[in-house]
């Protein structure tokens, strides 16, 4: 359900080709909800056949080739509104890094520290990407957002933008929390005598 909601939400900013959509899932919306092209194209076609999206061929190049541009339909907008009314279906927890940490007693010397450092790196990267998205929103450099604002009355602009910033702040907060947790883990390893000493801490 959430891929389809993400697709509707994205296309509510205006028409896009499948490829444009795929690009957005590799960049902006993809930081909140990722999907690969192999999932996106078939889903677009399904949603089209269900009436949530309409499509039209758009010229590509100067030799008669076309690409397909999708637009959200009224039914699609209805579905988008309905989505916001549905209770969130929380999935049961599956956190691989926390699972691993619970059993660090099985790790070879140094392996736990390596895992925690990699965890910190991963979430620093996630954090940086989320901050980039926030900057793009606040600086109005996101073409998708610009198009969305252009299609809405000016008194909605702050509202629309702030919800997006808020969502990415959730990603930043998540990353910060995971980094802090892993740093506490490194300190725990040090207390337990499992680090070679401050010099090995980077």
Partner DNA sequence: ACCGAATACCTATCGAGATAGTTATTCGCG
Partner DNA sequence: CGCGAATAACTATCTCGATAGGTATTCGGT
Strands of 16-17's sheet, edge to edge?
Answer: 16-17, 66-72, 53-59
CB atoms within 10 A of CB 88: 6
Give the helix/strand (H/E) hosting 66.
Answer: strand 66-72
**Can you name the residues that pair with 58 across neighbouring β-strands?**
67
Question: Nearest approach, Cβ of 196 to a copy of itself (angstroms)?
Answer: 17
- Kindly report the backbone phi and psi dihedral angles of residue 30, in degrees, each rounded to the nearest multiple of 5, phi listed first: -60, -15
Task: For a copy of itself, give the closer residue by CB, 68 or 181.
Answer: 181
Indicate which single residue of 42, 50, 66, 111 sits in contact with a copy of itself (rule: CB under 8 A).
Answer: 111
- Report CA 49 to chain centroid distance, whole Å: 26
- The beta-carbon contacts of 184-192 under 8 Å, at least 24 apart in sequence, are 185/101, 185/112, 185/116, 186/113, 186/116, 186/117, 189/112, 189/113, 189/116
Q: Which region, judged by CB under 8 A, interacts with a copy of itself, from 6-14, 16-24, 41-49, 52-60?
A: 6-14
Q: Judged by CB under 8 A, which stretch of 1-9, 14-22, 40-48, 53-61 contacts a copy of itself?
A: 1-9
**Residues within the interface to DNA (CB under 7 A):** 1-3, 17-20, 23, 34-39, 41-42, 44-45, 60-65, 67-68, 89, 91-92, 94
Which range in 15-23, 45-53, 57-65, 82-90 contacts a copy of itself by CB under 8 A? 82-90
Where do contacts with a copy of itself occur on this chain (CB under 8 A)? 2, 5-6, 9, 12, 29-34, 77, 80-81, 83-85, 87-108, 111-112, 115, 118-119, 122, 126, 156, 158-160, 162-164, 166-171, 173-174, 176-178, 180-181, 184-185, 188, 192
């Amino acid at each position: 359900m959430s891929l389809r909601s993400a697709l509707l939400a994205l296309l509510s900013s205006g028409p896009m080709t499948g490829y444009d959509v795929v690009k957005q899932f590799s960049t902006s919306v993809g930081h909140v909800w990722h999907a690969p092209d192999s999932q996106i194209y078939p889903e677009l076609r399904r949603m089209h056949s269900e009436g949530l999206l309409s499509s039209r061929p758009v010229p590509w190049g100067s030799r008669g080739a076309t690409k397909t541009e999708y637009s959200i339909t009224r039914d699609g907008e209805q579905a988008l509104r309905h989505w916001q009314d549905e209770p969130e279906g929380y999935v049961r927890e599956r956190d691989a890094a926390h699972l691993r940490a619970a059993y660090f007693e099985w790790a070879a010397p140094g392996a736990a520290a390596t895992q925690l450092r990699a965890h910190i790196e991963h979430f620093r990267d996630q954090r940086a990407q989320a901050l980039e998205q926030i900057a793009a929103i606040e600086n109005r450099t996101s073409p998708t957002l610009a198009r969305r604002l252009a299609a809405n009355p000016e008194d909605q602009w702050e509202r629309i933008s702030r919800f997006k910033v808020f969502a990415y702040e959730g990603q930043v907060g998540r990353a910060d929390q995971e980094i802090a947790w892993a740093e506490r883990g490194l300190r725990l390893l040090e207390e337990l005598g499992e680090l070679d000493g401050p010099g090995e801490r980077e």
